[in-house]
Amino acid sequence: MDLTFSPEEIAFGEEVRAFIKAELPADVRAKMQAGIELTKDDYVNWQHKLNSRGWLAPGWPVKYGGTGWDVVKRHIYEQEMALGWTPRQMPFGVAMVAPVIIEFGNDAQREYFLPRILSSEDWWCQGYSEPGAGSDLASLSTKAERDGDHYVVNGQKTWITLAQFADWIFCLVRTDPAARKQSGISFLLIDMKTPGVTVRPIVTIDGGREVNEVYFENVRVPVANLVGREGEGWTYAKFLLEHERNGTAGVAGSSQLLERLNAIANSQRVDGGTLLDDDHFAERIANVEIELTALSYTQLRSLAAEQSGKSPGPESSFIKIKGTEIQQSLTELMMDASGYEAFDPAVHSAAWYYNYRKTSIYAGSNEIQRNIIAKRLLGL
C-alpha cells in the first residue's frame, strides 16, 4: 500500500487540523493531555461538532450518514484527531451497535436508531461480560424469556464502560437455555430507563469510575428490539467483536501516548541533557515506535480489505494483540520516564499506566485472541 499522500490527501489533513484548532475547546484539550476524566457533556458537545461537519461516522455507508472516505482518508482523519488531542469518539453507538443494526437489523430499527446515534441523542453502552462469563462469553446466563410481545430480562452484566451515562444498552441474552451455548443467545436492545435496570459503579485502581455493574430485574423489553433472528446473537456478536478489536488496537491513540511520552522524557534532566539523550531509553522508545508504524500498515491493510467488502475476520485478533501490547509498553515507558513524579496529578503517568492494564483483557483477552488465531487461521 502506497502511503505517499497525494496533494488532495495532504489538503484533507490540513482541513482536519484547521477544524480541530477552530472547534476543540482549550479546556477539553487540556483535560485530554493531562489524562483527566471528561464529562458526558465534553464528549457529546464534541460529537455534535463532528456530526455537524458530517464526520461522526466515517465507517458507515453514505446513505446512512457515512463519509464515503477511502481507507487513507480515514487513516489521516484518525491520526489528526489523535494528535490534536480530541476526545475519543464513544465507540459503542457509532462503531459497535450501529454496524450490527445496519447489517442485521430491520428498516424500522435503522430508521429509528441510526439518526439518534448520529445526533448523540442516544448514548450506548455494551452489555456482554458477566461475573461468570468474560472471555468465555458463550457461558453467559442473563436470560430473556418471551412473554407475549415482550421479553422479560433477568441477570447481571459487569465491566460496562460508561453505563452511568447511557440511554441504551445492547445486550447478549440467553433466549433458549436448552440449546447449545452459542445457539441459544440473542442480541437485544434495552432502554436503560426501563424499570428494573440498575447501574452500580466499580471504582478502578486509579480511582476512576468509568466501569459499572448493570442489573436486570424483570425488565420488560419489546420484541421489536430484537436485532435479527432469535438465537443468532452469537453470529452478530462475533461480527461486532471483529470490528471492536480493530478499534481496540488504538493505533491513533498510541500516537497520542507516544507524543506524551516524548514530552515527559524531554522534561527529565539527566547528566546535563534530557532522558531523550540517554541512548538506552531512546532505543526503547524507538523500538516501540517501529512496532507502532508496522501495526499502522497492518491495520490499513485490514481496513482496505473491509472496504472491498470483506469481513475483518480473525486477522483482527493479530491487530488487537499487538495494539494493546504497544499501548502497555508506552504507558510503562511513561512511568519509567516520570520516576517519582508519576503519581503527581500534573504528570498523571501512573493513572495512564493503571488504566491501560485493561486493554489486553477487553474485546476478548489476548489469550483468547491467540486461541482464535490458532483455530481459525492455523487450523490447530
Strands 226-227 and 185-191: antiparallel
Q: What is the arithmetic mean of pLDDT over 341-365?
A: 78
Q: Which domains does the chain have, with CATH numbers?
A: 7-89 (no CATH), 123-231 (2.40.110.10), 249-377 (1.20.140.10)
Element (H, E) at 77: helix 71-83
Q: What pLDDT, on the 0 to 100 scale, is given for residue 310?
A: 63
Rounded distance between C-alpha atoms, residue 51 and residue 116, angstroms: 11
Q: What pLDDT, on the 0 to 100 scale, is given for residue 319?
A: 84
Radius of gyration of the chain (CA): 21
Rounded distance between C-alpha atoms, residue 266 and residue 273, angstroms: 9
Q: What are phi and psi of 235, to 5 degrees?
A: -60, -45
Rounded distance between C-alpha atoms, residue 20 and residue 18, angstroms: 5
Q: What pLDDT, on the 0 to 100 scale, is given for residue 181?
A: 82
Instruction: List the single range of 68-72, 92-96, 103-107 with lowest mean pLDDT.
Output: 68-72
Q: Which residue, among 218, 215, 121, 220, has the nearest Cα to 168 in the 3D structure?
A: 121
23 is catalytic: no
pLDDT interval class at 170 (50, 70, 90): very high
> Given a cut of 70, is residue 311 above it in pLDDT?
no
Catalytic residue among 210, 244, 306, 315: 244
Q: According to the per-residue pLDDT averaged within each range, which of 154-168, 268-282, 293-307 is highest?
A: 154-168
CA angle 129, 135, 140 (to 5 degrees): 50
Residue 78 C-alpha cell reads as: 484518525
Query: Of residues 1 and 210, which shows the higher confidence score?
Result: 210
pLDDT interval class at 75 (50, 70, 90): confident
Q: What global pTM score does this model have?
A: 0.82
